[in-house]
Amino acid sequence: MGYEEIFPPVDSKWHGNAAKRFASPFVDNPHDRIDVDPIILSNAAVSCGYTIRDFYEKPELGIHCVGYISQLFDLLPVTHWFFSLPWVTELGLKLVYKETLPPIPTGPIYSDPEDIDKMIVPSKEELINKTGTHATVPLFYKIYDYVAKNLPMTLVPISYGFDLVGAAAEMVGVENFIMWTFTEPEAANKLVRKYTDTAVNGAEALADKYGMAMLIVGSVLANNDIFSDETVEEYSVKNMYYYVDQCFKRGAGPQVFYHLCGNHETDYKLFKDGLMWSPFTVIHAGYQGRNPFPSGLLKETFADKATCMGSVDTKLMIDPNPNKVYNQAKEQLLAGRDSKKGYILGTACETPPYTLPGQMLALVKAARDFGTYGTW
């Protein structure tokens, strides 16, 4: 039995309306209300009775859960599936499944700066022909082929650069990498660029097959809890620009989702004139210090550049008080909803696997109450 036999078909009436709403910020054609994207991942599997591990170990099941459960809360009409370490097995890391986490590496494989010279960036063909459970291109071909067959109206082929700095750092160990940014900056830069070049080759492989590939790239490890503004710019902003530019050269894009995860208290402003902006770009910022990044500041900084996605603290999604979610979402909506190129209400990062349904409802209810077009 295929996973598609587990799920009832997608409600086409729901999907039609959600698709119009999803398109509206990008084409200045307001429909219904502000969209809500809680970056739902393994929570979708948990909501359907599966485990976190199931979500990652059975990606077709995982992505079908995302498509299915999105209807329950009237979320996005598109499907996605990912974890934060694409492309690393191609560079030599070994990943293992965990019960309550996405796949994690068994440990770093390099320890000396000289080792980085030995790292070989796999070609597009090598990425396509890579074998093994976590081989990124075959994995995403398999997922998108499944979606194309079983949930075609939800298909958006996505290529993940994801966390260019954080994923590269795993090759040598995160603590070691942070040290290298002080003591061995040349090797640290080379490492991030080699990871980025691998992700670019992978994006081309996906764009070749599907005609386009939305790009998702973030600054996760590179945030103000770890690095100075200068270091975030050097390692993250510049490589994010390079990644998107190179992907565009290879036919990927034009949709881009920038995810500034964690604390971007002061470095946020470096992204404004440091990133590449396409006509279909969303910028999302997680936190300012310990608080959700204010949508007013997000709008003030980025509204001229892209669609802005505001954040509700992910901790609130498991706090047994739906009103906390509702009130914070209201505050963010009121500050961001008139963003010039559109606004999306999100959570600061992936909504937790055990997100409470009442809290998800509160998030969407806030979008209905304070984000309905024509009511402000």
Partner 1 sequence: MQVTIPDNVKELIAKRGLKESDVLDVVNTAAQTNHYLKKGTDGLAKKVIGDLTVYALCDLSGQGTAVVKSAYAHKMKLGKIVNVMGESEWKSVDKGHAIATGHVEIEYMTVKRNGPALVCPACNEAWVEEYLATKTLAAAEGLFEAKRA
Residues that bind partner 1 in the complex, under the rule CB under 8 A: 23, 26-29, 211-212, 245, 248-249, 251, 253-255, 273-274, 276-281, 304-306, 341
Considering the complex, what minimum distance in angstroms separates the CB of residue 256 from partner 1?
A: 10
Which residue's CB is nearer to partner 1, number 71 or number 278? 278
Question: Smallest distance, Å, CB 201 to partner 1?
Answer: 16
Least gap, CB of 49 to partner 1 (angstroms): 35
Q: How far apart are CA 26 and CA 17, in angstroms?
A: 15
Closest listed residue to residue 246, CA positions, set 215, 269, 283: 215
- Rounded to a whole number of angstroms, the minimum distance from the CB of residue 132 to partner 1 is 31
What distance in Å separates the CA atoms of residue 343 and residue 273, rounded to the nearest whole number?
20
In terms of CB distance, is 150 or 255 closer to partner 1? 255
Tokens, residue 4: 């598609």
Task: Give least dist CB 344 to partner 1, A.
Answer: 15
CB of 306 to partner 1, least distance (A): 7
Least separation, in Å, of the C-beta of 86 and partner 1?
A: 22
Cβ–Cβ under 8 Å, residues 314 and 359:
no
Q: How far is CA 369 from the centre of its chain?
A: 26
Task: Compare residues 185 and 274 and give the one whose CB is closer to partner 1.
Answer: 274
180 burial class (0-12, 13-18, 19+ CB within 10 angstroms)? buried
Give dist(CA 34, CA 42) in Å, integer: 24
Rg of the chain (C-alpha set):
20
Taking the complex as a whole, the smallest distance from the CB of residue 175 to partner 1 amounts, in Å, to 33
Pairing assessment for the beta strands 343-347 and 35-37 based on DSSP bridges: parallel
Q: Is the Cβ of residue 147 or residue 303 nearer to partner 1 in the bound state?
A: 303
Please report, as a single letter, which amino acid is at residue 181: T
Q: What CA–CA distance (Å, rounded) separates 355 from 347?
A: 11
Nearer to partner 1, 250 or 259 (CB): 250
DSSP 72: H
What the block records as the tokens of 100 is 């309550």
CA atoms of 174 and 169, how far apart (whole Å): 5
270-273 contact pairs (CB < 8 A, 24+): 270/229, 270/232, 270/233, 270/237, 271/219, 271/237, 271/240, 271/302, 272/301, 272/302, 272/305
Nearer to partner 1, 157 or 336 (CB): 157
Comparing CB distances to partner 1, the nearer of 340 and 368 is 340
Of 185 and 254, which has the nearer Cβ to partner 1?
254
- Least spacing, CB of residue 372 vs partner 1, in Å: 20
CB closer to partner 1 out of 190 and 305: 305
Task: Say how far apart CA 170 and CA 53 lie, in whole Å.
Answer: 21
- Do 13 and 321 meet the contact criterion of CB atoms below 8 Å apart? no
The set of residues, in sequence order, having a beta carbon less than 8 Å from that of 67 and lying 6+ positions away, is: 10, 79, 147, 151, 154
Cβ–Cβ < 8 Å for 10, 68: yes
